[in-house]
Amino acid sequence: MHQLTLAEIARGLADKSFSSEELTGALLARIKQLDPQINSFISVTEDLALGQARAADARRAAGDTGALLGAPIAHKDLFCTNGVRTSCGSKMLDNFKAPYDATVVAKLAEAGMVTLGKTNMDEFAMGSANESSHYGAVKNPWNLEHVPGGSSGGSAAAVAARLLPATTGTDTGGSIRQPAALTNLTGLKPTYGRVSRWGMIAYASSLDQGGPLARTAEDCALLLQGMAGFDAKDSTSIEEPVPDYSASLNASLQGLRIGLPKEYFGAGLDPRIADLVQASVKELEKLGAVVREISLPNMQHAIPAYYVIAPAEASSNLSRFDGVRFGYRCENPKDLTDLYKRSRGEGFGMEVQRRIMVGTYALSAGYYDAYYVKAQQIRRLIKNDFMAAFNDVDLILGPTTPNPAWKLGAKGSDPVAAYLEDVYTITANLAGLPGLSMPAGFVDGLPVGVQLLAPYFQEGRLLNVAHRYQQVTDWHTRAPNGF
């Protein structure tokens, strides 16, 4: 049963080939057996899952036919889950049981999904390798000596290893698309405001967005349908109707205008990835797409701008973890200052502390104009580049990452080397645009992803193009050895 996609599971549950309780039991056993190899789960919620599975079976027996009813899910461990530890991959929140469900968790539970657990992640979603987790690194099922990408590395590795068909992730600068690319999955970052951030522990609030990770675009469509929509509890949620994403999957690509930004194919990109991207373009041309070169001239400034804005917002968001209200508190504080200092010094890991310091510096009087304001101006220029490009094309295509998954520990001592891996993904967050990564081949046995970007709220177009591509290619069907 673990080989089934979410769509196949939905059909199997609908025609009563198996019950949700049977499926849930089989997947829980598989997680127990195989997860020790990859460390993709922080918590497995066995009792919650079996209870939800029985309830889903009862709802189906009573005539409920919801597409996600009884299907399994696991949430990145920054989605608050009522009564369940929600750690954000940090010692700071190791003892935190959320007192309520995030909107995404609540919506998928109402749709009848069964929560198998909470997935491993980079601490506070800061990272591209899932090595900064308090709970240890996640390993890439395609090669256990390599990283799975981050920060949603647990969500990606669990699906790639066929422990379950789909998971939630969040993407602040690429954390859904990049691990999807590095583990041969389809991952979608929606338009900023499409999916509620309520109950999602904040990293950088103006960039964060939740979304689905699964093997196929068809599955991402099903999951996004359950996640998306206006939420009055999130002041940046947008009141925009949610289309039927599954209904548009098969739309024709005849005449679709695809732009290839010339800046994407310069130095720094592994030439073997460039070749696979070109091969994917050929497939889309065969399906009727027309391709032209475009330019995103300010792309070179994206990494410096992002690595000012994201830490600035993080330094503010993470100030609430003070050792007083919730989370980790140091032993025997001498006085209040000692309590703050040691609780934060002991509770946060190195990368989180580095970002808090960078962010605090960038926001401080005297440096604010030189760094934060400049970064915001660059952000506007990047958005303007996209707006100009989307006057001429319907979709932008390129690599998701410049390199395939690197070896565990390879970039550990050099944070900037890891930051550079985000070059293709962070612009979508700075502009608020939707983006999708889909499997497009292999280099040295490691998966490679192609990224599609679309105008605001055109998630349906991304899923449509990826689905049509997946009908004529089989990269997404390949499974890692041993899983």
Active-site residue set? 76, 151, 175
- Minimum distance between the CB of residue 310 and ligand GLN, rounded to whole angstroms? 5
The 259-298 site mask, x for binding ligand GLN (CB under 6 A), equals ----------------------------------------
Quick one: which segment of 17-25, 120-128, 331-339, 471-479 binds ligand GLN (CB under 6 A)? 120-128
CB closer to ligand GLN, 74 vs 314: 314
The 440-469 site mask, x for binding ligand GLN (CB under 6 A), equals ------------------------------
User: What is the gyration radius of the CA atoms in the chain, in angstroms?
Assistant: 21
Among residue numbers 132 through 161, which ones bind ligand GLN (CB under 6 A)? 151
With beta carbons less than 8 A apart as the criterion, state whether 427 and 218 touch. no
CA distances from 70 to 3, 24, 259, 345, 404 (A): 17, 9, 40, 43, 35
CB closer to ligand GLN, 294 vs 302: 302
Quick one: which segment of 78-86, 165-173, 255-263, 448-456 binds ligand GLN (CB under 6 A)? 165-173
Question: How many whole angstroms separate alpha carbon 55 and alpha carbon 455?
Answer: 39
- Minimum distance between the CB of residue 314 and ligand GLN, rounded to whole angstroms? 8
CB closer to ligand GLN, 126 vs 382: 126
Identified binder of ligand GLN from the candidate list 126, 269, 284, 362, rule CB under 6 A = 126
In terms of Cα–Cα distance, which of 194, 254, 259 is closest to 223? 194
Quick one: which segment of 166-174, 317-325, 333-341, 471-479 binds ligand GLN (CB under 6 A)? 166-174
431 binds ligand GLN (CB under 6 A): no
CB closer to ligand GLN, 69 vs 214: 214
310 binds ligand GLN (CB under 6 A): yes
Starting at the edge strand found earlier in the chain, the sheet holding 114-119 runs 41-44, 114-119, 72-76, 166-170, 210-214, 186-189, 435-443, 446-453, 395-399, 257-261, 290-294
Q: Is 292 exposed, middle or buried (0-12, 13-18, 19+ CB in 10 A)?
A: exposed
- Minimum distance between the CB of residue 429 and ligand GLN, rounded to whole angstroms? 7
Identified binder of ligand GLN from the candidate list 5, 422, 436, 450, rule CB under 6 A = 422
435 binds ligand GLN (CB under 6 A): no
125 binds ligand GLN (CB under 6 A): yes
128 binds ligand GLN (CB under 6 A): yes
The 29-68 site mask, x for binding ligand GLN (CB under 6 A), equals ----------------------------------------
- Minimum distance between the CB of residue 303 and ligand GLN, rounded to whole angstroms? 10
- Minimum distance between the CB of residue 353 and ligand GLN, rounded to whole angstroms? 14
In terms of Cα–Cα distance, which of 240, 155, 149, 150 is closest to 196? 240
Sole residue written with tokens 């548009």: 248
Report the b/e string of 419-441 with b at 16+ CB within 10 A.
bebbbbbbbbbbbbbbbbbbbbb
The 169-208 site mask, x for binding ligand GLN (CB under 6 A), equals --xxxxx---------------------------x-----
For residue 283, the SS3 value is helix
Question: How many whole angstroms separate alpha carbon 46 and alpha carbon 97?
Answer: 16
Question: How many whole angstroms separate alpha carbon 69 and alpha carbon 45?
Answer: 18
For residue 247, the SS3 value is coil
In terms of Cα–Cα distance, which of 349, 346, 357, 347 is closest to 314? 357
- Minimum distance between the CB of residue 362 and ligand GLN, rounded to whole angstroms? 14
- Minimum distance between the CB of residue 213 and ligand GLN, rounded to whole angstroms? 13
With beta carbons less than 8 A apart as the criterion, state whether 250 and 244 touch. no
CB closer to ligand GLN, 52 vs 119: 119
CB closer to ligand GLN, 6 vs 358: 358
Question: How many whole angstroms separate alpha carbon 128 and alpha carbon 175?
Answer: 7
Question: How many whole angstroms separate alpha carbon 430 and alpha carbon 424?
Answer: 12
Q: What are phi and psi of 143, to 5 degrees?
A: -165, 110
Which residues of the shown chain bind ligand GLN in the complex (CB under 6 A)? 125-128, 151, 171-175, 203, 310, 422
